[in-house]
Structure 1
């Protein structure tokens, strides 16, 4: 019997659409790789004049108008709050975005040239405008006027307007550090990557689009206003920068209350404020007898301040317009979990994650610390310089001594943040502190390969050396608050014991919710009865991050159990929980539901689709809409959605793959082949498209052509073990058993715990008479799947 037949019969759709479960995240998880974060220390600067409202743009671009939602402007706030206004004027928030002018532009535009990847760009002045001659969307050099500055320190970027209302962030930035620090120069944000205009990271590409990627966090009352019918933006704001009302909300009611105008008494309870940022009012941090760390006088009972800051200072994506101050962040934004592309398995930041996801892991957050305990909210600066901010709560006689840090006093290693909040440099010149505030764990570097603060400074030493030093100093290896590294690492690598470690993490309420939610997501990828039993209680957890992630993880449940488990979440008070439940329930057949259940699910799906339409400018959202329509059997609407994705971004290959799979469901493989071949002309190195085409050709019994495509997929996409596995099975079915074994060994060299590849390799080696090799792999498989009776039977057969 062909080994390939069951693969195609039972897994072809999964193979062709495996990235889609990830792509459901893409419309929410914004890869903010082209903006200047506003939390780096700023150089001293004179106070600047407030911008008038509305800000006037160059005549060639649409005007910006106030949002009309009760926003009154910083100048109005300054009439009563002069000190706060003065502090804010010197902050990076005040300079987050500015019209390009003599006072705002820091870069050298005196006919200066900069060359990267063979493209020489020239920065110059013309008729009072700041100009750049650089490669445009067609690859040819063109002259562009700088419309806005973006950020201020340690780098400044520049925005260029296009006739369809887009603003794009130039990939060449100005290093605004001093010359002594290596600054005062132009540099490229993606050095050595040779970005062509077809690349989404090219400055004219989707990933550098200000309207979607950056705008919400650099202006006040930002409204993206994308028109999908005409494919243009009319983005507006009330103030161009991050002003008072970006944090305090619209001020009209507060102004009414303060001036005692109209029916002002009705506002007495709130003073007309949209959000009460009063969690620190009346709070003290005091030291108990013989204690070395202060405790909050009253436990923090809300997350208002944390979630307000997290709206921008987190790796997240907006999925709903109309942010409401004081409401849960997950009503409008999706927070990124501790995934391996963003974080190391112990939670240290890997990619740009903008602090909040890190801080949620910290013991400080668990003990009630919030952002303004350390940061002055109006200047954005620390309440005390460097590590001295830590000594507000951690007694100096215990912690600021060589007996604690084992470094010479006043040295770099004696600074609290050097060990407990080490920096990683992003955007070439921007070092950012890890806000998980962890105890250095060089022992985890030895075991799991994660970074550690010790060898960041002592680069000439090994992690083992650092672990030995720590043990010598303290007589043991300190473990700290975060205890989830082994579980997430095992889950991400599918290692032996992963399920048990993840189950233990889920059941440990002392561990950070973001880590537990990350464990839920991993268990959901291999959902079984024990995993379900561990996840099910989290559907009613007090933290909406856990509820929403649990709903998503249970998408793979049998229909009856899924319906029973997720229907109650359609009435959850937090929108993200509701739409995750609705998305998972979209595939439940209507005939299995009562009329009331059908109505509830459809209401949830309508809300989910509206959330996706918030990002109608992105092809990922159109693709996600198509997936819902496929689940509901509405194939014409699904096709229209996939084609809309391809119209937005013709090189968005995943939409082509899904469209071809839709045609498979309709018996239209001929049309699917045309779509896939066209996609491969645009993106010939796309492994997913090669894999999908290979499966299509197998269905058409065109095995030689199929083998070629599957081989390309395995070669171009080695990070996905499924491609190599399917290629190996196809080789074996054509009689090339020895080559199939080699292909599987190649997969396992990179993915040693891939179950499907191990199972196939044991079978093929046993059939080929390679008994010893078969036993070795079977034993390894048995350690990964100790409770799997099929694996145990296979092991007995080869022993």
Structure 2
């Protein structure tokens, strides 16, 4: 599995503020929202949160535990019992541990780990934080099928997930064995993906979505955790929210009449499917929801965990919108293919909101039993709840033998990709296979995914033969996003068309808004400015971030209204974008709005104070506000938390540049290069610093090394070529540019540089 593509959605929003254009580009790449999925386990036994002694309050609901739900909701509890939510995390004991702890050994990268039984505990002997073999008790199991991981306690209240997992599948499927989650990578104790590293930390990466009422409780002063939960697994209130007021209403205890009759005292009442029917439209032959879905409470509650996202604020399950706590990731390379198909682990939501199903009003529980998590019907039956069997469950539609490969709806419309070595996940964008797009831009398709001995063109021709026309489908954004990724000459035009096409998925339009940052001119600026008032908060948040490079006065004029946005995450991002605006220069109303939103932004970073990315963000924020001592302290704290965190070196060195402290900046970059000698970003930053110091000979060496380490980075090619030209080596500069054009194709900046260099000869 690829590095940084694990299960848990990202919990930090790392980004620099108004450094130079180079640093912004680096941070978009390097601080990509990372994540780690650790399937379902129990540790330092945090105490369940007690119910308060005071009388129930309708304004401060609290968690009461699933035992209070069983009396009235026995069927739901029975369905939930032994589900993957129920088994999300468990104390390690005879009944919960599936792995072989009879002395089994596992060999990886020169390390032999041993799984055995101690006097009372399940034990593992493996390489610890210093690389030496140590013995650790297993505290919790994490997950149940198709794999189970195990949690180990390290100092500071940290629970860490072992990279060696148990394959829980049957023997005839290759299971009942120990295996490594990164079999193709030689991880050592110094790697952030090692089980002792930050990316395998349960408190930050996993806890929020695998237990109920989790409070991370990170203490910055001691750099330690005291994480607590009310229930160890994903229980009733993890989705429905704290149920104290609902219990008050159900028992009709004093004060129950004050409970809202629509909510029944629940912060999340899932009633969107009540009275709903799906009928086939005579005009289109497609199912139509009656009545139309006007809310998406259920989808957003599920998305809090079933999405690739950054968590900026605590999610207290009190009915807030998704983007009051989380920032979903866009259709970025590495996470998604250009057409929106899954590439990395993205956990359903980002795929589903691309789909025509979502647009038509489908919710998660239309297909899944929300308590057992099983499909509502086996096989094609789940789709035939709405779609006509004669029209779709037939050879006239799928052109494959009934009950054979290719006859199941999911075979063509929900192809699966395997993650964590043994865990296949289905794409929930419900798309029509497009082998023609595979031929044009290299995106995958379900046809040749099965018929891997055939070409995409063969598959495209076959579809035309079957249906009489090329397939089209609902998603019409692949060309625009692919053009942006390849820097095609018409990329700006295609992106503008996508941004303005409100019939296309909001996540695709938000991605286009973000990509337009590479083509900001009068026309694109107008489109991005209009996106600030889009109905989708995801589009609005993307527009805010895209406009950050603008001059302060223009930026303030455009982004000021977003300081009062209904979504908390959007307000915080707006404050970040305006962090360099002095409050004293604003009228009182604007001063209050920016001050309040800035407090929310700082809150978002303090929520993630256990991550170096948050301190990089704080450093950039304080630097923009003219608070150099606080900025420097924040950057230094990022390095203290993770001495291998590349963006901290880059941003701290650039901060020193703004303070006329390039000597200190050079020392920071040298420290970074001693730890990360293969970092193109550090070599490039060092080259720029050496240019400022008028050490052109050393600068050329650094810039050349950066270009060699990252030959597909157009910026690095460009800067190195300019430096060569400045040193009088125009012929060599042209050769470097030609090489970049040959590798990158349609890069306009390199082509323009070639023209300028040729004209200067």
Q: Give the TM-score category using the shorter length.
A: over 0.9
Please give the secondary structure, in 2, of the residue aligned with 1:78. Answer: coil
**Which residue does 1:122 correspond to in 2?**
114
**Which residue does 1:312 correspond to in 2?**
305
Say yes or no: does 1:135 pair with 2:127.
yes
Please give the secondary structure, in 2, of the residue aligned with 1:658. Answer: helix
Q: Out of 431, 437, 446, which is 1:453 matched to?
A: 446
**Which residue does 1:147 correspond to in 2?**
139
**Which residue does 2:47 correspond to in 1?**
64
Q: Out of 678, 691, 699, which is 1:698 matched to?
A: 691
Give the Cα–Cα distance (whole angstroms) in 2 for the partners of residues 17 and 408 of structure 1: 53
Say yes or no: does 1:760 pair with 2:753.
yes
**Which residue does 1:101 correspond to in 2?**
93
Give the Cα–Cα distance (whole angstroms) in 2 for the partners of residues 128 and 358 of structure 1: 45
Length-normalised TM-score, structure 2: 0.94
Moved more, 353-362 or 550-559: 550-559
Give the Cα–Cα distance (whole angstroms) in 2 for the partners of residues 597 and 257 of structure 1: 42
- Please show how residues 87-236 of structure 1 align to structure 2 within 5 Å: 87-236=79-228
Give the Cα–Cα distance (whole angstroms) in 1 for the partners of residues 399 and 647 of structure 2: 53
**Which residue does 2:36 correspond to in 1?**
33
Say yes or no: does 1:588 pair with 2:586.
no
Please give the secondary structure, in 2, of the residue aligned with 1:450. Answer: coil
Give the Cα–Cα distance (whole angstroms) in 1 for the partners of residues 287 and 673 of structure 2: 61
**Which residue does 2:479 correspond to in 1?**
486
Question: How far off is 1:241 after superposition?
Answer: 0.3
Length-normalised TM-score, structure 1: 0.89
- Please show how residues 433-452 of structure 1 align to structure 2 within 5 Å: 433-452=426-445
Question: How far off is 1:430 after superposition?
Answer: 0.6
> Conserved in 2, the CA contact under 8 Å of 1:34 and 1:169?
no
Q: Out of 219, 244, 267, which is 2:236 matched to?
A: 244
Give the Cα–Cα distance (whole angstroms) in 2 for the partners of residues 364 and 71 of structure 1: 34
- Please show how residues 453-602 of structure 1 align to structure 2 within 5 Å: 453-589=446-582, 592-602=585-595
Q: Out of 383, 389, 400, which is 2:376 matched to?
A: 383
> Conserved in 2, the CA contact under 8 Å of 1:133 and 1:141?
yes
Aligned length: 734
- Please show how residues 655-694 of structure 1 align to structure 2 within 5 Å: 655-694=648-687
Say yes or no: does 1:342 pair with 2:335.
yes
Question: How far off is 1:493 after superposition?
Answer: 1.7
Query: Unaligned 5+ residue runs, structure 2?
Result: 1-17, 52-60
Question: How far off is 1:474 after superposition?
Answer: 0.8
**Which residue does 1:14 correspond to in 2?**
21
Give the Cα–Cα distance (whole angstroms) in 2 for the partners of residues 455 and 445 of structure 1: 9
Moved more, 286-295 or 723-732: 286-295
**Which residue does 1:779 correspond to in 2?**
none
Please give the secondary structure, in 2, of the residue aligned with 1:160. Answer: strand
Say yes or no: does 1:623 pair with 2:620.
no
Give the Cα–Cα distance (whole angstroms) in 1 for the partners of residues 625 and 758 of structure 2: 43
> Conserved in 1, the CA contact under 8 Å of 2:164 and 2:178?
yes
Q: Out of 47, 65, 71, which is 1:73 matched to?
A: 65
Please give the secondary structure, in 2, of the residue aligned with 1:149. Answer: strand
Give the Cα–Cα distance (whole angstroms) in 2 for the partners of residues 476 and 291 of structure 1: 18
Give the Cα–Cα distance (whole angstroms) in 2 for the partners of residues 109 and 118 of structure 1: 21
Question: How far off is 1:13 after superposition?
Answer: 3.1
Post-superposition CA distance 1:378-405 (Å, at most 9, x none): 1000001122211111101010111110
Q: Out of 324, 335, 339, which is 1:331 matched to?
A: 324
Moved more, 152-161 or 74-83: 74-83
Moved more, 302-311 or 759-768: 759-768
Q: Out of 591, 594, 611, which is 2:604 matched to?
A: 611
Please give the secondary structure, in 1, of the residue aligned with 2:136. Answer: strand
Give the Cα–Cα distance (whole angstroms) in 1 for the partners of residues 489 and 72 of structure 2: 63
Moved more, 384-393 or 168-177: 384-393
**Which residue does 1:749 correspond to in 2?**
742
> Conserved in 2, the CA contact under 8 Å of 1:582 and 1:601?
yes
Moved more, 159-168 or 528-537: 528-537
Give the Cα–Cα distance (whole angstroms) in 2 for the partners of residues 324 and 71 of structure 1: 10
Give the Cα–Cα distance (whole angstroms) in 1 for the partners of residues 471 and 375 of structure 2: 28
Please give the secondary structure, in 1, of the residue aligned with 2:227. Answer: coil
> Conserved in 2, the CA contact under 8 Å of 1:150 and 1:158?
yes
Question: How far off is 1:553 after superposition?
Answer: 1.7
Post-superposition CA distance 1:499-525 (Å, at most 9, x none): 111111111111111111111111123
Moved more, 235-244 or 264-273: 264-273
> Root-mean-square deviation (CA), in Å?
1.8
Give the Cα–Cα distance (whole angstroms) in 2 for the partners of residues 500 and 67 of structure 1: 58
> Conserved in 1, the CA contact under 8 Å of 2:412 and 2:432?
yes
Question: How far off is 1:716 after superposition?
Answer: 1.5
Please give the secondary structure, in 2, of the residue aligned with 1:65. Answer: coil
Q: Out of 641, 662, 667, which is 1:648 matched to?
A: 641
- Please show how residues 718-737 of structure 1 align to structure 2 within 5 Å: 718-737=711-730
Give the Cα–Cα distance (whole angstroms) in 2 for the partners of residues 173 and 393 of structure 1: 39
Moved more, 284-293 or 725-734: 284-293
Question: How far off is 1:749 after superposition?
Answer: 2.5
Post-superposition CA distance 1:228-257 (Å, at most 9, x none): 111001111110000011111111111111
Question: How far off is 1:542 after superposition?
Answer: 2.2
Question: How far off is 1:591 after superposition?
Answer: 6.3
